[in-house]
Amino acid sequence: MTRDHDHHDDHHEHGSELSEMQLRVRALETVLAEKGYIDPAALDAMIEAYETKIGPHNGARVVAKAWADPAFKRALLEDATKAVRMLGLINRVGDHLIAVENTPKLHNMIVCTLCSCYPWEVLGLPPVWYKSAPYRSRAVNDPRGVLADFGVTLPQDTQIRVWDSTAETRFIVLPMRPPGTEGWSEDRLATLVTRDSMIGTGLPNPPGETA
Protein backbone atom coordinates (compact mmCIF):
# COMPACT_ATOMS: atom_id res chain seq x y z
CA MET A 1 0.00 0.00 0.00
CA THR A 2 2.62 2.52 1.09
CA ARG A 3 4.86 1.55 -1.80
CA ASP A 4 2.05 2.30 -4.25
CA HIS A 5 1.57 5.67 -2.69
CA ASP A 6 5.25 6.40 -3.05
CA HIS A 7 4.99 5.85 -6.77
CA HIS A 8 2.40 8.25 -8.02
CA ASP A 9 2.54 7.91 -11.75
CA ASP A 10 -0.41 8.67 -14.02
CA HIS A 11 -1.46 5.05 -14.09
CA HIS A 12 -1.72 4.81 -10.32
CA GLU A 13 -3.48 8.14 -9.98
CA HIS A 14 -6.03 7.08 -12.53
CA GLY A 15 -6.38 3.63 -10.99
CA SER A 16 -7.00 4.97 -7.49
CA GLU A 17 -9.66 7.40 -8.68
CA LEU A 18 -11.24 4.60 -10.67
CA SER A 19 -11.72 2.27 -7.74
CA GLU A 20 -12.63 5.06 -5.34
CA MET A 21 -15.21 6.39 -7.78
CA GLN A 22 -16.62 3.00 -8.69
CA LEU A 23 -17.42 2.41 -5.03
CA ARG A 24 -18.62 5.93 -4.41
CA VAL A 25 -20.96 6.13 -7.39
CA ARG A 26 -22.28 2.62 -6.75
CA ALA A 27 -23.08 3.63 -3.15
CA LEU A 28 -24.83 6.77 -4.36
CA GLU A 29 -26.90 4.88 -6.92
CA THR A 30 -27.84 2.16 -4.44
CA VAL A 31 -29.01 4.65 -1.84
CA LEU A 32 -30.99 6.75 -4.34
CA ALA A 33 -32.63 3.63 -5.83
CA GLU A 34 -33.50 2.20 -2.41
CA LYS A 35 -35.05 5.54 -1.50
CA GLY A 36 -37.23 5.26 -4.60
CA TYR A 37 -35.87 8.39 -6.32
CA ILE A 38 -34.45 6.72 -9.41
CA ASP A 39 -35.10 3.71 -11.61
CA PRO A 40 -31.81 1.97 -12.56
CA ALA A 41 -33.45 0.65 -15.77
CA ALA A 42 -34.03 4.24 -16.90
CA LEU A 43 -30.35 4.95 -16.24
CA ASP A 44 -29.36 1.97 -18.39
CA ALA A 45 -31.50 3.24 -21.27
CA MET A 46 -30.10 6.73 -20.97
CA ILE A 47 -26.52 5.47 -21.07
CA GLU A 48 -27.27 3.32 -24.10
CA ALA A 49 -28.69 6.34 -25.91
CA TYR A 50 -25.58 8.42 -25.17
CA GLU A 51 -23.31 5.59 -26.28
CA THR A 52 -25.14 4.68 -29.48
CA LYS A 53 -27.71 7.24 -30.68
CA ILE A 54 -26.52 10.67 -29.72
CA GLY A 55 -23.26 11.80 -31.20
CA PRO A 56 -21.54 13.94 -33.80
CA HIS A 57 -23.03 11.85 -36.62
CA ASN A 58 -26.21 13.85 -36.01
CA GLY A 59 -24.39 17.14 -36.40
CA ALA A 60 -22.61 15.82 -39.49
CA ARG A 61 -26.00 15.21 -41.14
CA VAL A 62 -27.03 18.75 -40.34
CA VAL A 63 -23.86 20.20 -41.84
CA ALA A 64 -23.98 17.98 -44.92
CA LYS A 65 -27.56 18.99 -45.60
CA ALA A 66 -26.68 22.66 -45.22
CA TRP A 67 -23.86 22.20 -47.73
CA ALA A 68 -26.12 20.45 -50.22
CA ASP A 69 -29.38 22.35 -49.77
CA PRO A 70 -29.27 26.18 -49.81
CA ALA A 71 -32.84 26.51 -48.50
CA PHE A 72 -31.98 24.32 -45.51
CA LYS A 73 -28.79 26.31 -44.92
CA ARG A 74 -30.80 29.55 -44.79
CA ALA A 75 -33.30 27.96 -42.40
CA LEU A 76 -30.46 26.62 -40.23
CA LEU A 77 -28.75 29.99 -39.90
CA GLU A 78 -32.10 31.67 -39.26
CA ASP A 79 -33.30 29.25 -36.54
CA ALA A 80 -31.22 26.13 -36.00
CA THR A 81 -33.59 24.60 -33.44
CA LYS A 82 -36.46 24.72 -35.92
CA ALA A 83 -34.39 23.62 -38.92
CA VAL A 84 -32.79 20.68 -37.12
CA ARG A 85 -36.14 19.53 -35.73
CA MET A 86 -37.40 19.24 -39.31
CA LEU A 87 -34.61 16.78 -40.05
CA GLY A 88 -36.14 14.28 -37.64
CA LEU A 89 -32.99 13.03 -35.92
CA ILE A 90 -33.50 10.12 -33.55
CA ASN A 91 -33.41 12.42 -30.56
CA ARG A 92 -35.36 15.66 -30.41
CA VAL A 93 -33.45 18.92 -30.39
CA GLY A 94 -33.88 21.35 -27.52
CA ASP A 95 -34.46 25.06 -27.72
CA HIS A 96 -31.93 27.80 -28.35
CA LEU A 97 -29.63 26.04 -30.80
CA ILE A 98 -27.67 28.51 -32.94
CA ALA A 99 -25.62 27.66 -36.04
CA VAL A 100 -22.71 29.96 -36.92
CA GLU A 101 -21.15 29.92 -40.38
CA ASN A 102 -17.48 29.84 -41.26
CA THR A 103 -16.48 31.80 -44.35
CA PRO A 104 -13.14 32.48 -46.05
CA LYS A 105 -12.89 35.62 -43.87
CA LEU A 106 -14.33 34.35 -40.58
CA HIS A 107 -13.62 31.31 -38.40
CA ASN A 108 -15.90 30.50 -35.46
CA MET A 109 -14.93 28.59 -32.33
CA ILE A 110 -17.18 27.45 -29.47
CA VAL A 111 -16.19 27.25 -25.81
CA CYS A 112 -17.77 27.24 -22.37
CA THR A 113 -15.28 28.95 -20.07
CA LEU A 114 -17.46 28.51 -16.97
CA CYS A 115 -18.35 24.82 -17.23
CA SER A 116 -19.00 22.52 -20.18
CA CYS A 117 -22.05 23.78 -22.12
CA TYR A 118 -22.13 21.97 -25.46
CA PRO A 119 -24.80 21.08 -28.03
CA TRP A 120 -25.35 17.49 -26.83
CA GLU A 121 -28.20 16.73 -29.19
CA VAL A 122 -26.18 17.35 -32.32
CA LEU A 123 -22.64 16.56 -31.11
CA GLY A 124 -23.15 14.07 -28.27
CA LEU A 125 -21.29 14.38 -24.98
CA PRO A 126 -18.29 16.73 -25.06
CA PRO A 127 -14.79 15.27 -25.28
CA VAL A 128 -12.54 15.57 -22.23
CA TRP A 129 -10.42 18.32 -23.80
CA TYR A 130 -13.48 20.55 -24.30
CA LYS A 131 -14.13 20.43 -20.53
CA SER A 132 -10.46 20.81 -19.59
CA ALA A 133 -8.75 23.81 -18.05
CA PRO A 134 -6.34 24.33 -20.99
CA TYR A 135 -9.17 24.71 -23.51
CA ARG A 136 -11.50 26.71 -21.30
CA SER A 137 -8.76 29.12 -20.26
CA ARG A 138 -7.11 29.69 -23.64
CA ALA A 139 -9.89 29.58 -26.23
CA VAL A 140 -10.99 33.14 -25.45
CA ASN A 141 -7.59 34.83 -25.56
CA ASP A 142 -5.38 32.56 -27.65
CA PRO A 143 -7.58 30.75 -30.16
CA ARG A 144 -4.76 30.52 -32.70
CA GLY A 145 -2.59 28.82 -30.09
CA VAL A 146 -5.43 26.40 -29.36
CA LEU A 147 -5.85 25.72 -33.08
CA ALA A 148 -2.12 24.98 -33.28
CA ASP A 149 -2.60 22.32 -30.58
CA PHE A 150 -5.04 20.71 -33.01
CA GLY A 151 -2.62 21.08 -35.92
CA VAL A 152 -4.73 23.77 -37.57
CA THR A 153 -3.26 27.00 -38.98
CA LEU A 154 -5.51 29.71 -40.39
CA PRO A 155 -4.44 32.61 -42.62
CA GLN A 156 -3.17 35.56 -40.52
CA ASP A 157 -5.98 37.82 -41.75
CA THR A 158 -8.84 35.41 -41.00
CA GLN A 159 -11.07 36.93 -38.35
CA ILE A 160 -11.56 34.63 -35.38
CA ARG A 161 -14.81 34.73 -33.49
CA VAL A 162 -15.03 32.86 -30.21
CA TRP A 163 -18.49 32.15 -28.78
CA ASP A 164 -18.48 31.65 -25.00
CA SER A 165 -21.58 29.58 -24.14
CA THR A 166 -22.41 31.37 -20.91
CA ALA A 167 -26.20 30.77 -21.00
CA GLU A 168 -28.63 28.15 -22.28
CA THR A 169 -28.01 29.02 -25.91
CA ARG A 170 -25.96 26.31 -27.66
CA PHE A 171 -23.78 26.72 -30.71
CA ILE A 172 -22.72 24.56 -33.63
CA VAL A 173 -20.24 25.70 -36.25
CA LEU A 174 -21.19 25.29 -39.90
CA PRO A 175 -17.75 24.71 -41.43
CA MET A 176 -16.88 25.55 -45.04
CA ARG A 177 -17.60 22.87 -47.59
CA PRO A 178 -14.32 21.38 -48.82
CA PRO A 179 -13.48 22.06 -52.45
CA GLY A 180 -13.62 19.08 -54.79
CA THR A 181 -16.96 17.82 -53.45
CA GLU A 182 -19.25 19.17 -56.17
CA GLY A 183 -22.17 16.87 -56.86
CA TRP A 184 -21.60 14.76 -53.72
CA SER A 185 -24.64 13.31 -51.95
CA GLU A 186 -25.47 14.40 -48.41
CA ASP A 187 -24.45 10.99 -47.08
CA ARG A 188 -21.06 11.24 -48.74
CA LEU A 189 -20.57 14.84 -47.61
CA ALA A 190 -21.39 13.82 -44.03
CA THR A 191 -18.34 11.53 -43.99
CA LEU A 192 -16.11 14.62 -44.24
CA VAL A 193 -17.64 16.41 -41.27
CA THR A 194 -15.58 15.92 -38.12
CA ARG A 195 -16.75 16.69 -34.61
CA ASP A 196 -13.98 19.21 -34.12
CA SER A 197 -14.99 21.04 -37.32
CA MET A 198 -18.39 21.66 -35.70
CA ILE A 199 -16.74 23.06 -32.54
CA GLY A 200 -14.31 25.17 -34.53
CA THR A 201 -11.09 23.48 -33.40
CA GLY A 202 -10.77 21.56 -36.64
CA LEU A 203 -11.65 21.65 -40.32
CA PRO A 204 -13.63 19.12 -42.34
CA ASN A 205 -11.58 16.34 -43.92
CA PRO A 206 -10.54 16.98 -47.49
CA PRO A 207 -12.25 14.65 -49.98
CA GLY A 208 -9.13 12.55 -50.60
CA GLU A 209 -8.89 11.40 -47.00
CA THR A 210 -12.19 9.62 -46.61
CA ALA A 211 -13.10 6.06 -47.44
Partner 1 sequence: MDGIHDMGGMHGFGKVEPEPNEPVFHADWEARCLALTRAMGATGAWTIDESRASIEALPPEVYLSSSYYRKWALGLEKRVVQHDLAGADELAAGHALRPGTALKRKLTLADVPDSLTRGSFGRTPQAPARFKPGDRVRTKNIHPPTHTRLPRYARGRVGVVEAIRGCHVFPDTVAIGAGENPQWLYTLLFDGRELWGEAADPTLTVSIEAFEPYLEAA
Least separation in angstroms between CB 152 and partner 1? 11
Q: What span, in angstroms and rounded, lies between the C-alpha atoms of 197 and 206?
A: 12
Q: Which of residues 118-137 bind partner 1 (CB under 8 A)?
A: 120-121, 124-125, 127-129, 131-137
CA quadruple 8, 14, 20, 22: dihedral, nearest 10: -160
Considering only residues 37 to 76 of the shown chain, the ones binding partner 1 according to CB under 8 A are: 37-39, 41-47, 49-51, 54-55
Which candidate, 93, 114, 97, 127, places its Cα nearest to that of 201?
A: 127
Cβ proximity to partner 1, 77 vs 181, nearer residue: 77
Q: How far apart are CA 112 and CA 129, in angstroms?
A: 12
Residue 142 interacting with partner 1 (CB under 8 A): yes
Point out the residues that are catalytic: 112, 115-117
Q: Given candidates 57, 158, 188, 207, which one binds partner 1 under the rule CB under 8 A?
A: 158
Shortest Cβ 21–partner 1 spacing (Å): 5
Read off the amino acid at residue 18. L
How far is it, in rounded angstroms, from Cα 70 to Cα 38? 45
* Amino acid, single-letter form, for residue 148: A
Least separation, in Å, of the C-beta of 113 and partner 1? 3
- Identify the CA nearest to 136 among candidates 195, 194, 201: 201
Interface residue with partner 1 among 57, 77, 101, 161 (CB under 8 A) is 161
User: Minimum distance from CB of 61 to partner 1 (Å)?
Assistant: 17
Q: Among residues 170, 174, 198, 203, which is the contact residue for partner 1, using CB under 8 A? A: 170
At a CB cut-off of 8 Å and minimum separation 6, what does 16 contact? none
Asked if 86 is part of the footprint of partner 1 (rule: CB under 8 A), the reply reads no
